[in-house]
Chains A and B, each alone.
Chain A
Amino acid sequence: MHSKIEVRSLNKSFESDQGRLVVIEDVSFTVRDGETVAIIGPSGCGKTTLMNMIAGFIRPDAGAIVIDGVPRLKPDPRGILITQHGSVFPWLTVRENLMFGLNGHAPRNKAEIADHYAAIVGLKGFESSYPHELSGGMLKRAELARALVVKPEVLYMDEPFSALDALMSLRVRNELLRILAEERHTVMLITHDVEEAIHVADRILVLSPRPARIQAAFDVPFPHPRRLTSAPAQELRVAILRELGVDHYGG
């Protein structure tokens, strides 16, 4: 597998009242094709800024993002960003939302493709519903489906499940894993939830507090479906938490 995403010494700082605030400092890593990489870090460390740069919405001060060997300068449908608060258009039905990104298809065909993906994420029967008629979990599925419809090579997920309750988060994660097993997307997942990272990722990068640097990297060698209560998974969890400065046993 070749490297899909290459992040080369990214730097980003913002002007603030207190002067220059360095948010990202010399972050480099690569993501292989089809790999799921989780980035975990303390809140406010610049995870979202990092994701927005990689997805193409913010320009870095220095460094580059290279995708398939080509520097990325702006967002495009080959990599879809999914965020915590979601961006499913509330004025469009589920079907219309899913059809939104389908350029260059016949109208009839669009609706078919949209309904197909609605069914994949378990929204069959809700194609004509408006987002305000859906629960938080269903809304997340709709957003995921809208991203999948355009067959993106990369999914950028910025704390996608953190607005859901624990049970719903687990359900949608399982859904995501099932879809990933079939479609083999490359995924970058930003989270502050260590268990979520261990649940879905092939590799976990731990960021330091601001300015964010990559502080540690862990492989997650467990086969799917994963049992998060297994001894090795728990050991990994403790190791990551220690990296984040939290001793699991309250020390």
Chain B
Amino acid sequence: MNRIRNSLPALGVIAALLAAWWGTIVATQSLIFPTPWGVVTGAIELLADGTLWRHIGASLLRVGTGFALAVCIAVPLGLWMGWVRGAYNTLNPIFQMLRPISPIAWIPIAILWFGVGDASPIYLIFISSVFPMIVQTTVGVHTIDKRYLRAAENFGVSRATLFTQVVIPAVLPQVLVGMRIGLGVAWLVVVAAEMIALRSGLGYMIMDSRNAGNRYDLVIAGMIIIGVIGLSLDSTMRRLERIRWVRWRYAQ
């Protein structure tokens, strides 16, 4: 009940925006810009012939692959940089310099190296999500409370125990934060990347709808679907905060 009441204002704003949109289209009698209902019928049309699912599947697969690769690289690398001072001093300046480069700026190089197949957007997703995850993991190691490391030192445990029972569990919540950021960026980037090079995916669908006959109803339908999928990816990541390995961080 409370949840419904809390979301009422947001729903109200959305309803007001839709009404304003609809009213404007009716008043201006625009021929190109669709009404909300036009967007709905456009989306149904795409659903019916199956192309929407194909595009969503293609985008998700690219994000999944690039993101998984980034996690596999970023987490061990971040742990290493967090733990070994020399590794941090050597690699951090390079990463800090690469990090602010927009993934969009990588597109020409990605095409040069990987062509216009799936590898290009996967590479772009990788490059955009790997740095935030490295940074978060490294910060996670650096901010482990010293009293826990001291306790581990006091008990004289092996390096393996120190890592598996203290360092990794202590860092895991920060890794999760990094993954949330990384996945958000990945989703942002895949759509942008698909707009330029490929023949499938939601980004391609948007550009193709515009190029092939100014189908702005499909453009807007695509945008809304991107938003909804992005939101559900993020809430999936948020749900991970409840698993037992990281719950301690949020329970205090």
Residues of A within 8 A of B (CB): 55, 57, 75-77, 80-81, 83, 85-87, 89-92, 96, 100-101, 103, 130-133, 150
Contacts and interface: CB of A to CB of B under 8 A. Distances in A.
A89 B154 CA distance: 13
A89 B165 CA distance: 9
A160 B222 CA distance: 60
A100 B154 contact: no
B147 A76 contact: no
A36 B154 CA distance: 20
Contacts of A132: 248, 251-252
Nearest to B170: A91
A92 B247 CA distance: 11
Nearest to B246: A91
B36 to A, nearest CB: 47
Given A57-B150, A132-B252, A89 B166 contact: yes
Place the interface of chain B in its size category.
20 to 34
Most chain B C-beta atoms within 10 Å of own C-beta, residue among A86, A100, A133: A100
A202 B20 CA distance: 81
A12 B120 CA distance: 60
A85 B165 CA distance: 20
Contact of A130 (B147, B152, B170, B248): B248
Interface stretch (B38-46, B155-163, B185-193): B155-163
Contacts of B169: 89, 91-92
Interface of B: 147-148, 150-158, 161, 165-166, 169-170, 172, 245, 247-249, 251-252
Contact of A77 (B154, B158, B166): B154
A236 B138 CA distance: 53
Contacts, number: 61
Nearest to A77: B156
27 contacts: A55-B154, A75-B153, A75-B156, A77-B154, A77-B156, A81-B151, A83-B147, A85-B147, A87-B147, A87-B151, A89-B151, A89-B165, A89-B166, A90-B248, A90-B252, A91-B169, A91-B170, A92-B169, A96-B165, A101-B155, A101-B156, A101-B157, A103-B156, A103-B161, A130-B247, A130-B251, A133-B251
A87 B165 CA distance: 13
Contact of A103 (B147, B151, B154, B157): B157
A131 B170 CA distance: 14
Given A101-B157, A131-B248, 14 more contacts: A81-B154, A87-B148, A87-B150, A89-B151, A90-B248, A91-B245, A92-B165, A92-B169, A96-B165, A100-B152, A103-B158, A132-B252, A133-B251, A150-B155
Contacts of A131: 248
A133 B169 CA distance: 18
Contacts of B154: 55, 75-77, 80-81
B170 to A, nearest CB: 7
A37 B249 CA distance: 37
B147 A80 contact: no
Most chain A C-beta atoms within 10 Å of own C-beta, residue among B147, B148, B151, B156: B151
Nearest to A55: B154
Nearest to A150: B155
A80 B155 contact: yes
Most chain B C-beta atoms within 10 Å of own C-beta, residue among A55, A81, A90: A90
Contacts of B148: 87, 89
Nearest to B146: A87
Contacts of A81: 150-151, 154
A131 B172 CA distance: 17
A130 B248 CA distance: 8
Contacts of A133: 251
Q: Which 7 A-B pairs have the closest CB atoms?
A: A101-B155, A87-B151, A91-B169, A132-B251, A90-B248, A87-B147, A77-B156
Most chain B C-beta atoms within 10 Å of own C-beta, residue among A85, A87, A130, A150: A87
A100 B147 contact: no
Nearest to A133: B251
Nearest to B247: A130
Contacts of B170: 91
Most chain B C-beta atoms within 10 Å of own C-beta, residue among A57, A77, A85, A89: A89
